[in-house]
Amino acid sequence: MSTVRAGVIGCGLQGQAHLEALAAIDGVELVAIADLDDARLSAAGQRFGVGRRHADALALLDEPLDLVSVCTMPDTHRELVMRALSTGAHVLCEKPLARDAAEAAEMVRAAVRAERLLIAGFNMRFMDAVASVRDFMADGLLGELVCARGFMLADDVPWWGRHYVRAASGGGALASSAVHMVDLLRWLAGSPRPLTATASMARVFPRKRACGAPPGAAERYDVEDLVFGHVRFEGGFWLTLEGTWTNDRAGWNYSFDAYGTRGQAHLQPLELYGERDDGAPARLRADAAAAMDFDAALRAELRAVIAALRTGRVDERLATGEQALVVQAIVDALYRSADAGREVAVEVPAL
């Protein structure tokens, strides 16, 4: 298709990032937007020159669209994605794909039936620093990937959405934030089948960060804001995970250490280590300036989505619905483990 007709549901922080990225791609027509907030809807429409504005997202889906970006809270994802697919549109749905694996499986099945793309918004795959790690791996300098340790540490609760309400978000620091690392590390490992998961979780709020809560949030806050997890995979690979919204270091701190049989990679700042020919440990590449920009990665992700629609070839960095379903099953297992106080099996629904 030469012109791609796009619609964006949700004009909050992430929705506006999608609109900005789509507006910058030649041949993309921003046909319609939707949001429950009239002021936000009007402001986004004026900023991006979108005349067709809907308070009801389902009304937007009556528009003739090739691509729908779903940038709402996870409690709406299933209905919106399945409705969009039924109209013949392809869908990019922000992470997490759903509130649980059962919902995610329904969405993936619907995409298969409709013969349309369902892509989950795991844009960290498109970061320049991640590309440098993949090059390091492709050159054989990491060797066989044995394990990885990932973390996403924030100094505040993401108050801009109802991420702190489990019925809306599916979970807190894990489901809303650290899920990025679950996807990224599994993908770098070659997408092995998960076997078991174990986790411990805590809710630190309101002992910390209570002063920043908007009115009424404290009464509704029912998610974890601190999580440690461990996931085992077929073939021997494992990952460990840390996530929090109550970190006392300023800003977002997110990175991973990947350990291989020959070398080691640290994502931020980018550091690639291994052995010299004499066996001594050494830094092998100086790529410390590689970008970790979330917005740049999102722009690259959306360019890849548009290219896939035009060519029929799906960039390997795009997170398919099937891949996102496995990630959701891992997240579900981590929550079950924390509730049960023991290691549990990861159960991926059949398609």
pLDDT tens figures, 150-174: 999 999 999 999 999 999 999 999 9
Residue 351 lies in a domain: no
Shared domain for 21 and 155, answered yes or no, is: no
CA neighbor of 192 nearest in space, from 320, 95, 333, 326 = 326
Name the token pair of 345. Answer: 């099996």
Contact indicator for 61, 84 with CB cutoff of 8 Å: yes
Burial 37-63 (b: 16+ CB within 10 A, else e): eeebbeebbeebebeebbeebeebbeb
pLDDT for 125 beyond 80: yes
Shared domain for 234 and 265, answered yes or no, is: yes
Residue 71 lies in a domain: yes
Shared domain for 55 and 152, answered yes or no, is: no
Name the token pair of 28. Answer: 């993309």
Shared domain for 93 and 113, answered yes or no, is: yes
CA neighbor of 262 nearest in space, from 184, 145, 147, 150 = 145
Residue 350 lies in a domain: no
Residue 116 lies in a domain: yes
Q: Which residues pair with 4 in a beta bridge?
A: 28
Domain range for 18: 4-124+298-319
Q: Which residues pair with 263 in a beta bridge?
A: 274
pLDDT for 287 beyond 80: no
Packed helices 179-188 and 321-340: angle between N→C axes, nearest 10 degrees: 120
User: Phi first, then psi: what are they for 293, rounded to 5°?
Assistant: -80, 120
Shared domain for 216 and 277, answered yes or no, is: yes
Shared domain for 310 and 250, answered yes or no, is: no
The per-residue pLDDT for 276 is: 83
Shared domain for 158 and 226, answered yes or no, is: yes
The per-residue pLDDT for 97 is: 97
pLDDT for 299 beyond 70: yes
Shared domain for 330 and 194, answered yes or no, is: yes
Q: Give the whole-angstrom CA distance, residue 228 versus residue 330.
A: 13
Q: Which residues pair with 344 in a beta bridge?
A: 197
The per-residue pLDDT for 184 is: 98
Contact indicator for 167, 139 with CB cutoff of 8 Å: no
Mean pLDDT of the chain: 96
Total number of domains constituting the chain: 2
Residue 313 lies in a domain: yes
DSSP helix/strand/coil, 228: strand
Residue 134 CB burial class (10 angstroms; 0-12, 13-18, ≥19): middle
Q: Give the whole-angstrom CA distance, residue 205 versus residue 40.
A: 29
Band (35; pLDDT cuts 50, 70, 90): very high
Shared domain for 57 and 190, answered yes or no, is: no
What is the pLDDT averaged over residues 86-99? 97
pLDDT for 44 beyond 80: yes
Shared domain for 42 and 52, answered yes or no, is: yes
Residue 32 lies in a domain: yes
User: CA 318 from chain center: how many Å?
Assistant: 11
- CATH, residue 167: 3.30.360.10
CA neighbor of 200 nearest in space, from 243, 238, 136 = 243
Residue 119 CB burial class (10 angstroms; 0-12, 13-18, ≥19): buried
Band (217; pLDDT cuts 50, 70, 90): very high
pLDDT in tens, 308-324: 999 999 999 999 999 99
- CATH, residue 30: 3.40.50.720
pLDDT for 288 beyond 70: no
**Any idea which of 11-15, 170-174, 275-279, 330-334 has the lowest mean pLDDT?**
275-279
Shared domain for 149 and 203, answered yes or no, is: yes
pLDDT for 74 beyond 70: yes
The DSSP 8-state label assigned to residue 50 in this structure reads -
Residue 242 lies in a domain: yes
CA neighbor of 101 nearest in space, from 278, 268, 332 = 332
pLDDT in tens, 231-283: 999 999 999 999 999 999 998 899 999 999 999 999 998 999 998 888 889 99
What is the share, in percent, of the chain residues with pLDDT greater than 70? 99
Q: Which residues pair with 253 in a beta bridge?
A: 153
Q: Give the whole-angstrom CA distance, residue 261 versus residue 349.
A: 33
How many CA atoms lie within 13 Å of 231's alpha carbon, on the beta-carbon side? 33
Q: Which helix (H) or strand (E) segment is 148 a member of?
A: strand 145-153
DSSP helix/strand/coil, 344: strand
CA neighbor of 285 nearest in space, from 139, 165, 176 = 139
The per-residue pLDDT for 13 is: 92
pLDDT for 289 beyond 70: no
Model confidence pTM above 0.85? yes
Residue 74 lies in a domain: yes
Shared domain for 98 and 168, answered yes or no, is: no
